[in-house]
Amino acid sequence: MKISVSFIKSKYNEKETIKLIDKTDADYLHVDIMDGKFVEAKNYSFKQIEKLVKYTTKKLDVHLMCENPSKFIKDYALLNTEYLTFHLEAVKNPSDIINEIHSYGIKCGISIKPSTSVQSLMPYINDIEQVLVMSVEPGEGGQEFMTDVATKIDQLKEINTNFIVSVDGGINDETINYVRNADMVVSGSYICQSDNYQKQINNLRT
């Protein structure tokens, strides 16, 4: 199982956090972007992210919690981005966004909120490389894992085309047991609020 680390809730500032994540064997740096519209909180500008990601060689797994994802695609395509993920609930024409992301040679993810069904993803499922299942309401780190989203992982794994299934929110060494058949987990506060990032990552892997 791959591990993608979110740095928004940490003991240290962003720069120190990203440097510490870089030293671990985590697979990706998960970059949460909030626009103050799709979610209440507004966090980083692209300029800030551009500076921060200089402190890691990890590939980026970018999660756009934004009303207008199209606005961000060109910028994030310039970085070391492997996955660029937008929310199904945020857009009117998901296929246009998928095409736009693919036009930069980047893998495309679609994220669904806890209340959004797997069924609603079906028209796009063959065209994307990641489904990001939210196990908390998008908008902040450090929330409690919602156990009932685990059935979505099983539903998605049964479909078995060429996308990976990733889970985001409230993942720790206990809640990970609900989502063992996911291909990737995003974990933030469990790792970044500890003194030993690698130890926490090892706990998730075992």
Quickly list DSSP for 36-74: SSSSS-B---HHHHHHHGGG--SEEEEEEE-S-THHHHH
CA 200 – CA 152 distance, rounded (Å): 25
Q: Is 32 in the site for Zn ion (CB under 5 A)?
A: yes
C-alpha dist (Å) from residue 96 to 69, 79, 101, 120? 11, 21, 9, 16
Smallest distance, ligand DX5 to C-beta of residue 138, A: 4
Smallest distance, ligand DX5 to C-beta of residue 104, A: 22
CA 143 – CA 31 distance, rounded (Å): 17
Segment lying near ligand DX5 (by CB under 6 A), choices 42-50, 66-74, 91-99, 182-190? 182-190
Which residue in the shown chain puts its C-beta closest to ligand DX5? Answer: 188
Look at residue 114 and give the partner it binds from ligand DX5, Zn ion, none, a contact being a CB closer than 5 to 8 Å depending on partner kind.
Answer: none
In the complex, which residues of this chain contact ligand DX5 (CB under 6 A)? Answer: 6, 8-9, 30, 32, 63, 136, 138-143, 168-171, 186-190
In the complex, which residues of this chain contact Zn ion (CB under 5 A)? Answer: 32, 63, 168
